[in-house]
């Protein structure tokens, strides 16, 4: 991948553009926190060719939510589970809305 390719992907929410040190700095947390949420399988950072963890903006948003819960006194394992459940609920709600729209569209077509 060339430098131009990398620069063009920085707008990609899933592109692993941030090193562990930079991610921890941006979140105002420690690298140990990022390792802990990785071990809890909240996020799985990609690895560089040299084996270093790389994080995407999407992963940083999830990690920030985890930090918010931990800062409020939630144990890290519970915070990770809460975030996973929140994500599953959001996806289920999105699918329900999509199915509802499709059913309404089919009803309108059948009525016409």
Give the Cα separation of 62 and 106 in Å (integer). Answer: 36
**6-40 pLDDT, tens digit each:** 555 667 888 999 999 999 999 999 999 999 999 99
Q: What are phi and psi of 46, to 5 degrees?
A: -75, 165
Q: What is the mean pLDDT of residues 2-9?
A: 54
Quick one: pLDDT at residue 9? Answer: 64
Q: Which of 51, 52, 48, 58 is CA-nearest to residue 15? A: 58
Q: For residue 58, what is the DSSP state?
A: H
Site of tokens 């950072």: 45
Quick one: pLDDT at residue 26? Answer: 95
- Kindly report the number of other CB atoms within 10 A of residue 76's CB atom: 17
Site of tokens 């016409």: 112
For the cut 90, the answer to whether the pLDDT of residue 67 exceeds it is: yes
Give the Cα separation of 110 and 73 in Å (integer). Answer: 53
**77-100 pLDDT, tens digit each:** 999 999 999 999 999 999 999 999
pTM given for the model: 0.76
Q: What are phi and psi of 18, to 5 degrees?
A: -115, 130
Give the Cα separation of 76 and 3 in Å (integer). Answer: 37
């Amino acid at each position: 991948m060339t430098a131009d390719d990398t620069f063009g992907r920085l707008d990609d929410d899933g592109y692993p553009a941030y090193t562990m040190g930079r991610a921890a700095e941006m979140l105002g947390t420690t690298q140990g926190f990022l390792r802990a949420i990785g071990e809890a399988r909240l996020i799985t950072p990609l690895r560089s060719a040299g084996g270093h963890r790389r994080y995407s903006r999407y992963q940083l948003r999830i990690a920030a939510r985890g930090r918010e819960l931990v800062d409020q006194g939630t144990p890290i394992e519970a915070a990770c589970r809460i975030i996973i459940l929140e994500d599953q609920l959001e996806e289920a709600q999105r699918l329900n809305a999509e199915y509802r729209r499709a059913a309404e569209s089919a009803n309108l077509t059948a009525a016409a």
